[in-house]
Amino acid sequence: MSLELTYLLWSAVLAFVYVMAQAGTYRLQNGIIEADTNRDMAPEPNVLTGRATRALRNFHETYPVFIALAVVIEFSGRSDALSQWGAMIWFWARVAYLPIYIGGLGLVRSAVWTVSAAGLILMLAGILV
């Protein structure tokens, strides 16, 4: 299994962590009973729930790109130093992104997002070069 595929596997765990962070903050804000309803009349999120929700949404925006790149690298046999570094950079930046976003570190959050995007670019370069 390539390094990129290994990071793809661990990214599934990371996706679960993002989902649980959002669900956990929602439950802390609204209680378990409210969290188990259909949420037809969901209250406005507080600061932490809003941040966790936006972090999850942001993760979902780049995750399909990471999945596609990792799969193409695996099937094409194009794993190399660029693609491997790209996968590692994207993954670890996404690990850092969640607590930074929830912590409200706006400028740092933007920088970490940029680093994760650079990881995707490296993966693409590994395929194309």
How confident is the model over 32-67, as pLDDT tens digits? 777 667 767 778 899 999 999 999 999 999 999 999
Q: What is the pTM of this model?
A: 0.92
Question: Which residues of the chain, if any, have pLDDT below 50?
Answer: none
pLDDT of residue 43: 81
What is the tally of structural domains in the chain?
A: 1
Using alpha carbons, list the distances in angstroms from residue 105 to 34, 86, 92, 93, 126: 29, 24, 17, 14, 32
Residue with tokens 């995707």: 120
The enclosing domain of 89 has a CATH number of: 1.20.120.550
Domain, as residue range, for 91: 3-128
